[in-house]
Structure 1
Amino acid sequence: MSDFELLPPADMSHMISTREGPLHFQDVGTGQPVLFIHSFGPQPGVTAWMIFHRVLREISTSRRCIALDMPNFGLSGPIVYDEPFHDVVVRSVLSLMDHLDLDEVPVVGTSMGATVALDLAITAPHRVSGLVVGSCHASTGGDPYLLGPFPSEVQRLYDEAQLHPTDLTHTVRLLKALVYDETVVTEAMVSAIQAFRDSRLGHWRAVSQSTSRAHSNLSALSSIGIPMRIIHGRFDRMVPFEQALMLMSYVRHADVTLLNQCGHWPAFERPVAFSSIVEEWLDSNHW
């Protein structure tokens, strides 16, 4: 996986101003629009392009793919908040959809982006036609685990990395724990992410000054009636795959795909399989 890319080409990169601060997004391809919301990781060094660029290059051959950097990630933000973080991102998504004149779209989210997608479908169900989610909790602050420890190993490493944002050692430990195959965490990838973090410490300060209030969405999950697919990595050390089964138990029409030899970032680590599943799901629902 030597084709690591952190930021998109200039012609795919766009910025808008919103109530939630500057919002950066990528817009590539033509056809039916699909919205992508990216994963959790070291802030602000995880971007939508980094997580999804291999997927976007495949799916954009037949569809319009829009992927945003969540506030305080990538080129979006910085912003200080005191509320459930996923609610902040939901408003950002709706602002972006309004800007692009998109009334309703299927949403592909993974990790933190999947929690946002679920929150969006609960908050504004008329704006979401379908969901691909996974590697996620349903709720801000997390959901109870039956088997795995809480907080998870990766959550602890993330907290340590946030305390030491310029320390390369903590960034490397976090990145290697987010994937199954540690060899994908190359020197070039680490250098690019750390340099980006070092250059945007305002994002780190905004997160440090913010409070994400816990809020459970579990009781609302059964209200989701739109098509939904769940994709989860078998070796996810951030959100154990039991959470995929939990989501399926609340949304009974949702199918689960468990990707072997995959950690917390399926779209990054298994892009061919991820793209194939998403395309099949989009085709089957005539989007």
Structure 2
Amino acid sequence: MNRAPCADGHLAYDDLGDGPPVVLLHDGTLDRRVWRRQLAAFDGYRLLNLDARSHGESSTPTTEYRRGDDVTALLDHLGLDSAFLVGQSMGGTSALDVALDHPERVDGLVISGCGTSEQHWRGEFVVGLLERQARCVAERDTEGYVECFLDLWVDGPHRDPHEVDPAIRAECRAMAMHTATRHARPDPVLPGKAADTWARLPEVSAPLLGILGELDVVDVREMLERITATVPGAELDVVAGAGHLVNMERPDRFNASVRRFLDGLTGRT
């Protein structure tokens, strides 16, 4: 594990391989361990696997920040002008923020299971679980909070818990419990959001690939379809039989899609 400085502490990251740099950005509540199925699949690339602030082994923030700041802080620390960004869920919103606010630093981006950082939640399934999760926070019910997270983002609206790979559920439970216990604060510092992200989508100049699990929630589907329909030249890859965590549930399919995209941009075969 390596450390890069940030405004209120440090960012934990792994630095693996050689070649064009690719920054991996994980889901909210989870951490960089979500990418373990990808770490051996991209020979010829330099993988920078980052824990976002308030997640994993990175610092808990004490001042206001934007999640895209984590990406630029890492690139600055390593002396990199730009990189490819691959983001899942919250990590995808961070990647888009960087592409909007610092386009010169993004060579291409893959976003999976997300909208912009100004996400909207309207579906009954999502809204109901987010309300339950908020009650768990108020009642300091960590177990209940984590179970809501698993119901929402691991199981999803189309499956019961027993229909999901138990190993994936166990991995996500361990990561979520780590985040909820290590980074909990009485008055959490909430990150700011990039402004007017939906209106600014036509400004995204980097090549963009969106990846969507067929069984993800309808809000995510609508947002990702809107992004890929608006960003010039963007493409959308829908993965059959997968829920929100495509990179964990269908790693071979996810890796092949990302590899094809990156190789096409770098001229590799």
Q: By the TM > 0.5 criterion, same fold?
A: yes
- 1:67 maps to a residue whose letter is N
1:184 aligns with 2:191: no
Give CA-to-partner distance per residue, 1:22-78, whole Å, 9 cap, x none: 21111111222111111123xxxx1112x111012212x221100111110111121
1:96 is displaced (CA, Å) by 0.7
Structure 1 residues 103 and 157, CA, compared in 2 at 3 Å: closer, same or farther?
farther
Indicate the residue corresponding to 2:189 in structure 1.
210
1:47 aligns with 2:31: yes
Equivalent-residue separation in structure 2 for 1:79 and 1:88 (angstroms): 11
Is the CA contact (8 Å cut-off) linking 1:139 and 1:218 kept in structure 2? Answer: no
Counting only pairs closer than 5 Å after superposition, residues 85-164 of structure 1 correspond to structure 2 as 88-140=66-118, 142-143=119-120, 148-149=123-124, 152-163=127-138
Equivalent-residue separation in structure 1 for 2:115 and 2:46 (angstroms): 27
Is the CA contact (8 Å cut-off) linking 2:136 and 2:145 kept in structure 1? Answer: yes
Unaligned runs of 5+ in 2: none
Classify the secondary structure of the residue corresponding to 1:56: coil
Unaligned runs of 5+ in 1: 1-12
- Cα RMSD of the aligned pairs, angstroms, is 2.6
Structure 1 residues 253 and 152, CA, compared in 2 at 3 Å: closer, same or farther?
farther
Indicate the residue corresponding to 1:228 in structure 2.
208
1:188 is displaced (CA, Å) by 4.6
Structure 1 residues 191 and 120, CA, compared in 2 at 3 Å: closer, same or farther?
closer
Identity of aligned residues (%): 25
Indicate the residue corresponding to 1:38 in structure 2.
26
Return the TM-score normalized by structure 1. Answer: 0.80
Return the TM-score normalized by structure 2. Answer: 0.85
Equivalent-residue separation in structure 1 for 2:129 and 2:47 (angstroms): 29
- 2:171 maps to a residue whose letter is M
Counting only pairs closer than 5 Å after superposition, residues 254-265 of structure 1 correspond to structure 2 as 254-265=234-245
- 1:262 maps to a residue whose letter is A
